[in-house]
Amino acid sequence: METPPGSARSASPEAEIGHRLEDLWNDVQVEPLLSPSEKLNSCFDGVPVSSFPSVPSQVIEIPSDASLATAVEILSKHKILSAPVRNVNSPEDASWIDRGLAAALGSVTLGTPAPSKASNAPAAAGGISDALGPADSGPEAAESMGGSFFENLASSEIYKSTKVEDISGSFRWAPFLALQSSDSLLTMLLLLSKYRMKSLPVVDLGEGKIDNIITQSSVVHMLAECVGLHWFENWGTKRLFELGLPIMKPSKLVKVREDEPVLRAFQLMRTKGIGGLPVIDDGGKKPVGNISIRDVQYLLTAPEIYKDYRSITAKNFLTAVRKHLEEHGETSPMLLGVITCRRDDTIKDVILRLDAHKIHRIYVVDEEGLVEGVITLRDIISKLVHEPRHYFGDFFDGVVPLPQNSRV
């Protein structure tokens, strides 16, 4: 049963934020000149990021002098895709802008272009299409190598000798981008949407440590916990088409056919700078699956999939991964098939679906099940708030590059 407006679904920490926003929402209702969007902006600007629930475990950092092999081992051990990189060469009294090399190592391991030849560094694991070779080169001697791609890559001397700091120039934000606990939720939401950050460390300048890491997924979970509150219902009951979703036109949607090599999917993700794409049936219209950048791990660690990496099609890759998950008793969105929605669904419907299945994108289909577009976590956050003119001021000093449409 849906909770009636005015009461959140639970007493979770996320719902507590919702109640704080509710109080602010009630206060701004007396401002007749403010639009609903401006009222939401005002509410989120009035709550500090220090109120956002902390990650349940210790924040994992990677020292800048760690080798790529060590870095990937740390990520694999803790089952995470990203981690802050700590500059071990910075002095004790250095600011966090100097201590941090990058906000997300995940962009190195799962999607960073190969470093320059001068650095003698290899392509990172995320440049998997480069590291593995052309998708159309046909079956090779991979099976005779034995083990997994990860084992073969991690055993190479260049992979073990190249340090994280050697490829720091390939990070999206250089040298570091982080929030302070006094920054507002509005700042956080804008960075996670318009400025395309997938996660943001929250640093304690006094203690010189990272207090929290806030992700797009955790924000969408917070929104799901606020269902029933007036401020959320005022926005959440709007239909997708009313909010201009999906943003991308159908003709611009990046996709692969089920009979194409799966390496083609990972190549497209890298070249287009996206985190996932739909697998389309032979007719080229109906989605039959989803492949995300996270699924690179199955090429890295599953020998039975790795041995056919050059020839396996997207369809057979999905089948092989599902079999691997079932045999190992693991849970994954890959087992759910394709999660879809319609243009006349509400944004609340989509948020609850994304949060329940712990997925990062949902595909929009028409009455016949033909794919019309995709909605990502970033798309949802971008429709919640907007950036006021000159909002960031000098926030980005020392941080490059800025989006071309920045209004700072």
DSSP 359: -
Handedness of CA 285, 286, 287, 288 (dihedral sign): negative
pLDDT in tens, 337-387: 899 999 999 999 999 999 999 999 999 999 999 999 999 999 999 999 999
Percent share of the chain, pLDDT over 70: 74
Which helix (H) or strand (E) segment holds residue 379: the answer is helix 377-382
186-207, pLDDT tens digit by residue? 999 999 999 888 888 888 877 6
Look up tokens 């390496």; give the residue. 263
Q: List domains and CATH numbers for the chain.
A: 62-111+131-177+197-221 (3.10.580), 238-384 (3.10.580.10)
Residue 2 has pLDDT above 80, yes or no: no
Q: What are the pLDDT digits (tens) for 114-170?
A: 333 333 333 333 333 444 444 443 333 333 334 556 566 666 777 778 888 887 655
Model confidence pLDDT, tens digit, residues 247-301 = 998 899 999 999 999 999 999 998 998 989 999 998 888 999 999 988 887 876 6
Could you tell me if 316 and 309 are in contact, meaning their C-beta atoms sit under 8 angstroms apart? Answer: no
257-270, pLDDT tens digit by residue?
999 999 999 999 98
Whole-structure pTM value: 0.81
Q: 202: which DSSP letter?
A: E
Q: What is the pLDDT of the chain when averaged over all its residues?
A: 79
pLDDT at position 299, please?
A: 76
Say if residues 236 and 230 touch (Cβ distance below 8 Å): no
Average pLDDT over residues 231-253: 95
Average pLDDT over residues 234-251: 95
